[in-house]
Amino acid sequence: MSDQQGITVPKGKDFSEWYNEVTLKAGLADFSSVKGFMFIKPYGYGIWELIQAALDSLLKAQGHQNAYSPALIPERFLQREQEHVEGFSPELFVVTQAGTQPLEERLILRPTSETVVYDAYAKWIRSWRDLPLLYNYWNSVFRAEIKMTKLFLRTCEFLWQEGHTVHATEGEADREVRSILESYRTLMEDYLAIPVLTGRKSDKEKFAGAVYTTTLEALMPDGKALQMGTSHQLGQNFAKAFGITFLDQAQKRQHAWQTSWGVSTRTIGAVIMVHGDDRGLVLPPRIAPIQVVVVPIFQDASKDSVLKEAKHLQGKLEKLGIRVQLDDREGYSPGWKFNEWELKGVPVRLEIGPKDLEQQQAILVRRDSMQKQPVKWDALGTVVPALLEDIQAALFRKATSFLEANTRPAATLKELGRLAEKEKGFILAGWCGNKACEEQVKDQTGTDIRVIPFQPPAGACVVCGNSGQQACFARAY
Amino acid sequence: MSDQQGITVPKGKDFSEWYNEVTLKAGLADFSSVKGFMFIKPYGYGIWELIQAALDSLLKAQGHQNAYSPALIPERFLQREQEHVEGFSPELFVVTQAGTQPLEERLILRPTSETVVYDAYAKWIRSWRDLPLLYNYWNSVFRAEIKMTKLFLRTCEFLWQEGHTVHATEGEADREVRSILESYRTLMEDYLAIPVLTGRKSDKEKFAGAVYTTTLEALMPDGKALQMGTSHQLGQNFAKAFGITFLDQAQKRQHAWQTSWGVSTRTIGAVIMVHGDDRGLVLPPRIAPIQVVVVPIFQDASKDSVLKEAKHLQGKLEKLGIRVQLDDREGYSPGWKFNEWELKGVPVRLEIGPKDLEQQQAILVRRDSMQKQPVKWDALGTVVPALLEDIQAALFRKATSFLEANTRPAATLKELGRLAEKEKGFILAGWCGNKACEEQVKDQTGTDIRVIPFQPPAGACVVCGNSGQQACFARAY
């Protein structure tokens, strides 16, 4: 860390290069020598642990339980659901050998676990008493990406959770899909401070094997959309392919209804992009591994007394449940430390020096606005928690303003094209529901349908003019 | 669960079949259709989550941080450390294809991550200021086992943590190895309630690539040893193979010193074996996903009042931080429920029926001894936590007595052979330190050196008669 420089590329100048610099220099992740794969470093993994804790507790509060399913899947399992195998085949890693022996049957590294999990569910589920079955799996999945690697956003392996639930009725599965989507929204908005649009995917964009897919879409500062999570109604598609049946209360055998849903480490990429600035990362306090960094400032004469008080204040804040780090390293100037912790996006810096001792105060600096304020020691216990909440709220407000300012209507295909080219952002435009029109928009403007609102206003299709509904188009990651 | 039977094979009659029954019927895990792989069900995964939480907090308290490293490793990385690749080659899963293309370079599914992690460390570590580097990785690893699958004990994929630390001096790495071993001991003894012997492995049994390996060995009820965890001093072996160097404070470039260490889901297998009985699983309270199950007993007339009080008591115990489940399912008799929760090893059952309402009491039944006691509602808040502590301690005491009763000295190879055949358990015998003698013991008695105490008493070698030190031999999983 000692020879680390600050960010050299402004966010507004070269967004992609800025993203790489922040991700690498803040110590979040690194490229592995294994082509296409990512190393998540402790600071990035610390953010993931906080995201996991938040989501895990939201899921458990709704009765979900965690489990673990094998990482390797026999190729024949994937072939049982036609749409599913077609969707995933181009990007599968295949194991063909174990030890010195060729395998009798080729094994696939899970790109997602529907098939291997549902093979097991078919064995476990017998009666309505076994339903609903609400299991969630924290693991990593593998997709042989041929495009260029981008840390957190496009790698051959990423961490996520995948939920796989089984229900007795279609309505119950529908409600699960929506309830998960709302939990995901809570995670994105209340923890990551990133506003999202929710709704359905078009049939073209839905999950391979699903009846329908719901999604959360966020807007990045370069005007491109990022899918933050999806929740799928699988209907009875997989239940029929894998023979998942149950005896209902009337002793009649029925195929079950299923859902699957996932959120990945890609969300960390969104946090970097949405909140970061030219100094580096800016972390929302709720997912910041370090919420407050205490930087003591002293000369030889004042060292002992300043350090003593710095430790005291650290302990005081930790007792309130705040994640605090004391940076008492020797051989680094306070200015150097300020730069480093700004680069790492720590929400609040607490400075304390000899003059502050006299005043019984500390200087608080908030990372988002860089505003400074002196605060008396006695007041820190109330001011710091309030400041963290305020930063959390301010980041969400700012991101929401950006989303709103960059969501625009288009009445014609030409206007849609112009907006996609010049303004970027989300574009609301009418669509008749036909795939041909959707593909024509993609060809002519480079935008996909990111999301169709759950209650879309009516709107004439910008391609064919037939009556339809409003959909949200954008270029996307 | 509705058609579940109890355990049909006594533990003392067919230990292996008893183990399978308990593991499957308690809902801990299941065989996957993917040959050699295991599905960890929520109840088993819940135990793992508690083990993870306990160990994670022990590790973090010592300054370790979590990170994530890729699951796939280029074959050439493994070949850099000679002993390491020889140790692991026979059991590697090899990925040879991505999408429809053959890979340019074969990728190995990590059997352990030394090589891929140290490749990254070589890039990150430059100066003494970067040391010590104390990273830990929670993941799963893959070993193509040709022997028969045994849930939690022998599967082609298992969950674990692997720590990989880097230090400036040999002494510091030595201290890390021992400090981790002590954290592992705390986990095994204070949480899993399983006593362990600690010490070094012989060179023959050490980790492939290590200078020396330390280990924790537990004794299973069938008299076989189970390795519960290991902590390795890697010396500079991997640092030299991967070029991990740092500038010391005198600006001199040096190779770093490294350690690695791991504990896996195999420990859950030990918990099943050590504490279980003919009714099923017996869980130590500290790692029990459900510590107290409340079973209300009622007729139609008393249903409302009994259920109301059952819920009230549940809430009261939950407020104390106890993990409580209320079993208010309809259509199951109390006796059926008792059997099921005994099978699942819940430490304490709290029964409450109409007569108990009159007495303002509940009946507590402890799973380990099946002792019953009536307790007044007012006293539950003190009695239940104390009871849980008492069960935890009693399980450890019982296992310790078994370990002590089954650790025997042998003065001759013949006696060692007789003990290994008749008595099983740990056998303390003199060993000169030569591999030839170690192998002869193995050939003639089926026992390995499980562990050499850190301060071994002197003892003449049971094979060659030369002077040596006491080692602990046993047959093993």
Q: Which of B67, B120, B126 sits opposite A45 (nearest CB)?
A: B67
Q: What is the per-residue pLDDT for A1?
A: 41
Query: Which whole-number Å values give the CA distances from A81 to A123, A238, B142, in the listed order?
Result: 18, 7, 27
Q: What is the per-residue pLDDT for A3?
A: 45
d(CA A255, CA A242): 10
Neighbouring-strand partners of residue B133 = B166
**Given a cut of 70, is residue A166 above it in pLDDT?**
yes
Task: Inspect the interface and report whether the beta carbons of A99 and B90 lie closer than 8 Å.
Answer: yes
Sign of CA dihedral B114, B120, B122, B128: negative
d(CA B154, CA B251): 48
Determine how many CB atoms are found less than 10 A away from the CB of residue B338. Answer: 18
Task: Inspect the interface and report whether the beta carbons of A73 and B34 lie closer than 8 Å.
Answer: yes
Class of domain B15-275: alpha beta
Q: Do domains B15-275 and B290-389 have the same CATH topology?
A: no
E strand residue ranges, A288-410: 292-296, 324-326, 348-352, 361-366, 372-376, 407-409
Closest CA–CA distance from residue B463 to any residue of chain A (Å): 35
B51 touching chain A per CB within 8 A: no
Chain B positions touching A137 (Cβ under 8 A) are none
Q: What is the per-residue pLDDT for B86?
A: 86
B332 touching chain A per CB within 8 A: no
Asked if residue B263 lies in contact with residue B163, where contact means CB atoms within 8 angstroms, the answer is no
Query: At a CB cut-off of 8 Å and minimum separation 6, what does A173 contact?
Result: A165, A167, A233, A234, A235, A257, A258, A259
What CATH code is assigned to B290-389?
A: 3.40.50.800
Query: At a CB cut-off of 8 Å and minimum separation 6, what does A472 contact?
Result: A197, A199, A217, A407, A426, A427, A428, A449, A450, A451, A452, A453
Asked if residue A430 lies in contact with residue A416, where contact means CB atoms within 8 angstroms, the answer is no
Task: Give the mean model confidence (pLDDT) for residues A468-477.
Answer: 97
Summarize chain A as % helix, strand, coil (round to 5): 40, 30, 30
The counts of H helices and E strands in chain B are 14, 24
Instruction: Note the helical H segments in A135-169.
Output: none
Asked if residue B82 lies in contact with residue A51, where contact means CB atoms within 8 angstroms, the answer is no
Neighbouring-strand partners of residue A264 = A160
Task: Inspect the interface and report whether the beta carbons of A34 and B109 lie closer than 8 Å.
Answer: no
Confidence grade of residue A146 (pLDDT, cut at 50, 70, 90) = low
What CATH code is assigned to B407-474?
A: 3.30.110.30
Determine how many CB atoms are found less than 10 A away from the CB of residue B466. Answer: 13
Instruction: Name the token pair of B59.
Output: 């590790």
Instruction: Name the token pair of A340.
Output: 């480093």
CATH architecture of A290-387: 3-Layer(aba) Sandwich (3.40)
Q: What is the percent of chain A where pLDDT is above 90?
A: 93
Confidence grade of residue A88 (pLDDT, cut at 50, 70, 90) = confident
Q: Name the DSSP letter for residue A332.
A: S
Asked if residue A113 lies in contact with residue A162, where contact means CB atoms within 8 angstroms, the answer is yes
Asked if residue A363 lies in contact with residue A352, where contact means CB atoms within 8 angstroms, the answer is yes
Q: What is the per-residue pLDDT for B10?
A: 97
Q: What is the per-residue pLDDT for A344?
A: 98
Query: Which whole-number Å values give the CA distances from B311 to A65, A360, B306, B333, B461, in the listed order?
Result: 22, 50, 9, 18, 64
CATH superfamily of A408-474: C-terminal domain of ProRS (3.30.110.30)
- Quote the mean pLDDT of chain A: 96
Closest CA–CA distance from residue A34 to any residue of chain B (Å): 7
Task: Taking each helix axis as running N to C, give the angle between helix B377-405 and helix B266-275, from 0 to 180 degrees, rounded to the nearest 10.
Answer: 100
Neighbouring-strand partners of residue B429 = B410, B471
d(CA B181, CA B263): 10
Of the candidates A171, A39, A421, the residue with the CA atom closest to the CA atom of residue B110: A39
Query: N- to C-terminal Cα distance for chain A?
Result: 31
B152 touching chain A per CB within 8 A: no
Of the candidates A418, A412, A436, A427, the residue with the CA atom closest to the CA atom of residue A471: A427
Of the candidates B281, B249, B253, B221, the residue with the CA atom closest to the CA atom of residue B406: B221
Q: H/E element holding A17?
A: helix A15-25
Q: Name the DSSP letter for residue A280.
A: B
Q: H/E element holding A160?
A: strand A157-167
Neighbouring-strand partners of residue A324 = A292
Chain B positions touching A164 (Cβ under 8 A) are none
Task: Inspect the interface and report whether the beta carbons of B32 and A90 lie closer than 8 Å.
Answer: no
Q: What is the per-residue pLDDT for A4?
A: 55
d(CA B195, CA B220): 11
Q: What is the per-residue pLDDT for A2?
A: 39
Which residues in chain B land under pLDDT 70? 1-4, 146
Stretch 8-27 of chain B: residues touching chain A, C-beta under 8 Å:
none
Neighbouring-strand partners of residue B474 = B448
Closest CA–CA distance from residue A140 to any residue of chain B (Å): 9
B68 touching chain A per CB within 8 A: yes
CA atoms within 13 A on the CB side of B224: 12
One-letter amino acid for residue B73 of the chain = I
Of the candidates B356, B355, B281, B294, the residue with the CA atom closest to the CA atom of residue B323: B294
Three-point CA angle A264, A267, A269, nearest 5° = 120
Q: Annotate B93-140 with DSSP letters as a single string.
A: EEEEEETTEEEEEEEEEPSS-HHHHHHHHHHH--BGGG-SEEEEEEEE
Q: Which of B40, B65, B90 sits opposite A68 (nearest CB)?
A: B40
Of the candidates A3, A56, A27, A18, the residue with the CA atom closest to the CA atom of residue A290: A27
What does the buried/exposed string (b/e) look like for B284-298 if buried means 16 or more CB atoms within 10 Å of the residue's CB? bbbbbbbbbbbbbbb
Could you tell me how far CA A369 lies from the centroid of its own chain? 24
Chain B positions touching A48 (Cβ under 8 A) are 68
d(CA A436, CA A280): 43
One-letter amino acid for residue A46 of the chain = G
Query: Which whole-number Å values give the CA distances from B29 to A32, B15, B148, B274, in the listed order?
Result: 34, 18, 16, 17
| Best of B51, B60, B65, B68 to mutate (most A CBs within 10 Å, chain A) | B68
Domain boundaries, chain B: 15-275, 290-389, 407-474
Of the candidates A220, A170, A219, A177, the residue with the CA atom closest to the CA atom of residue A201: A177
Strands B467-474 and B458-460: antiparallel
- 3 state DSSP class of B287: helix
* Residue in the structure block whose two tokens are 């590294």: A109
Instruction: Name the token pair of B458.
Output: 């002197």
Count of all residues that appear for chain B in the document: 477
Instruction: Name the token pair of A148.
Output: 């260029």
Task: Inspect the interface and report whether the beta carbons of A116 and B2 lie closer than 8 Å.
Answer: no
Chain B positions touching A41 (Cβ under 8 A) are 67
Task: Inspect the interface and report whether the beta carbons of A98 and B144 lie closer than 8 Å.
Answer: yes
Q: Which of A94, A130, A159 sits opposite B97 (nearest CB)?
A: A94
Q: What is the per-residue pLDDT for A147?
A: 75
d(CA B151, CA A219): 46
Could you tell me how far CA A106 lies from the centroid of its own chain? 32
Q: Annotate A435-446 with DSSP letters as a single string.
A: HHHHHHHHHHHS
d(CA B209, CA B83): 5
A156 touching chain B per CB within 8 A: yes
Instruction: Name the token pair of A326.
Output: 């004391």
Asked if residue B217 lies in contact with residue B477, where contact means CB atoms within 8 angstroms, the answer is no
Q: Cis link prior to B10 (omega < 30° from 0)? A: no
* Residue in the structure block whose two tokens are 């990045």: A220
Task: Inspect the interface and report whether the beta carbons of A107 and B93 lie closer than 8 Å.
Answer: yes
List the single residue in A with minimal CA-CA distance to B74.
Answer: A34
| Best of B1, B48, B59, B95 to mutate (most A CBs within 10 Å, chain A) | B95
| Best of B25, B30, B31, B33 to mutate (most A CBs within 10 Å, chain A) | B33
Task: Inspect the interface and report whether the beta carbons of B42 and A94 lie closer than 8 Å.
Answer: no
